[in-house]
A and B are shown apart, each in its own frame.
Chain A
Amino acid sequence: MGNCMPVRSKEGLELLARFLLASRKCNHSPNMLKILVVDESRERASEIGVGLIRAGYQVAAVLPSAIDLAQQVETVAPDVILIDTESPSRDTLEHLATLNRANPRPVLLFSRERDAAVIRSALRAGVAAYVAETVAPEKLASIVEVALVQFEQFQKLRQERDEASRKLAERVVIERAKGVLMKTKGMEEDAAYHALRKLAMERGKRIVDIAQGVLDSAALLL
């Protein structure tokens, strides 16, 4: 099984480990489709790969970059290639498809929420008819379905993570602003927080914005 995913982060390593473990458990029947997943986000590519393997598909490789694509398509000879429509590697795949019409073609995996509807119209219009001719459309549809679910879960997790880190950053700002008020105005911690909240309510702003204002003026004045 080819895998040419350079892994840098700890998180990425865990994902890769899960991915390899899952693929070893999987029994490959001879008529099973080989899938190549291409995505600029290595994590997302592995998540999609894991999801497909769990659903019983054979994932041949996951790739983040265009330069490895020609080589991988040649050696892996996938039946289906899953690619994010927003991936710049799409042009590389198109070239491979025109070079050898027997090559499998990319399946479009639309990345943005509203594109879930677009992919259906794309399939109807024939735009996404990029698979090797031997692949039955109903098989394809379920592969895309699995990939989309995986993709959405990944996006949701990332949004939650982003939200969590944003909240943490905001708390740091508020804590520091409280510290400034306590030091300069001799306020108690509670009083400092209430002062920030009162001002925020009066001005119709968020506490963090008021706190940032306090820090900005402190930097200027103190």
Chain B
Amino acid sequence: MTQFEYADEPQPTGGSGLEKTRLRLGIIPLTDCAPLVVAKEMGYFAQQGLDVSLSREPSWANIRDKVVLGELDGAHMLAGMPIAATLGLAGAQKAMVTAFSMDLNGNAITVSNELYARMQKADPQAMQQRPIAATALRKVIDEDRAAGRPPMTFAMVFPVSMHNYQLRYWMASAGIDPDRDLRLVVLPPPQMVDNLASRAIVGYCVGEPWNQQAVELGIGHVVVTGYELWNNAPEKVFGVTRAWAEAHPNTHRALLRALLQAARWMDAAENRAEVVHLIARREYVHAPAEVVAHSMTGTWRYAHDEAPVKMTDFNVFHRYCANFPWRSHALWLLAQMVRWGQIDAQQDLRQIAESVYRTDIYRAAAADLGLPVPDVDYKSEGLHAGAWSIAGGGRQLEMGADRFFDGANFDPDHPGDLSRNIPVHAMHMAALHEKI
């Protein structure tokens, strides 16, 4: 935010038909802004003839509004944001697109030591087996209700974030209704740890480094990681407005080429230490390098008194076709928006997924670099417990596991079955009808 360049300033002329070469892109200080930071710091943007400045933004709402207003050319966004903006879910309605998924996974659910102890006491058996189900939490909630205590408060980061949907998915699988049985608030990620320490909240779902920070300080336990909830789930995307994408097709493609190269470089285990060094800096994530290093270098600590465990896929930036904007991911996100009463189920969800998740633009950029791409735009989610492969340009491309922790299967090829996959609560349906 120290940059004062206007988005419409005269641009230096770039080669190869770039419509614009001086760009301002927004980031939120989280470890997964890394592909943009690496593309800038390692010179991948420059190689493509792009002069990019990164603007650190204080909130997702700001990111969205600045992209809508043209203050930013594009930004690091929550996977659900381009969809939400296109639908006008909050703030102004503005068609957005994404042609690049920045990463897979990266979140976790942390609870206070106090709540963790109560959960262990309420259901010791459920707490012994990872991934830990929310059944122990439900018992604690039941105890509180019986004793006439007020509902507990959990935090997440944004209404259309994966964090919100992951937290709700986990809770709902144990019969907890997050809208009735507890209070759910949104807090800025850097404020999570403080609020956990001050007991203003009892738990949260957030990205790194804010789970490992709580563990490091000995004030919280990670109960379950996002990876355990849904292996290789979507997380952040690079988003622009549809109007911007249409006005700057060559620049957009050059940006994607730089991001693809950055993602490929940083996904290699041997480069992760350097990624940590780059993003821990003050102007980016501004967090202790050793805390950022945990998830980035594939280690994970559930608790202060437990040894770190290996979790190689906690942050996936390129492998498993991670950068491909899977339309099945978009459809899953849309299904969550319906499930929790954020949008109307009557809309053509598939058409929305296809207008926002632009596999065609991704394919063009990947082809420029000779990188293979999947032949299809949708995949079944939840069928693979381990590595598998998918056809792409006559080759077999390596894919990662995609299992949901409750064994669910999300089949995007049968949109008619979509409603069956969405256990919409009766109360949410009622709320939905009221809104319509």
Contacts and interface: CB of A to CB of B under 8 A. Distances in A.
Contacts of A121: 69
B90 A88 contact: no
B200 interface: yes
A101 B88 CA distance: 13
B395 interface: no
Contact of A122 (B1, B58, B65, B190): B65
Interface in B168-202: 183, 185-188, 190-191, 195, 200-201
A36 B187 CA distance: 18
Interface residues of A, number: 30
A93 B361 CA distance: 34
B91 A67 contact: no
Nearest to B71: A118
A98 B200 CA distance: 22
A88 B159 contact: no
A114 interface: yes
A86 B187 CA distance: 15
Interface in B349-389: none
A136 B376 CA distance: 50
A90 B61 contact: yes
Interface string A96-109: 11100100000010
A70 B183 contact: yes
A127 interface: yes
A202 interface: no
B261 interface: no
Contacts of A94: 60-61, 90-91, 158-159, 186
Contacts of B69: 118, 121-122, 125, 127
User: From DSSP, what is the main secondary structure of chain B's interface residues?
Assistant: loop
Nearest to B91: A127
A96 B68 CA distance: 21
Contacts of A87: 58-59
Contact of A85 (B60, B62, B185, B187): B62
A18 interface: no
B188 A86 contact: no
A142 to B, nearest CB: 22
A138 interface: no
A98 B191 contact: no
Contact of A127 (B65, B191, B195, B201): B65
Contact of A66 (B89, B187, B435): B187
Interface of B: 1, 4, 58-62, 65, 68-69, 71, 89-93, 157-159, 183, 185-188, 190-191, 195, 200-201, 342, 435
Interface of A: 65-67, 69-70, 85-98, 101, 108, 114, 118, 121-122, 125-127, 129-130
Q: Which 6 A-B pairs have the closest CB atoms?
A: A88-B188, A95-B186, A90-B59, A90-B61, A126-B92, A88-B58
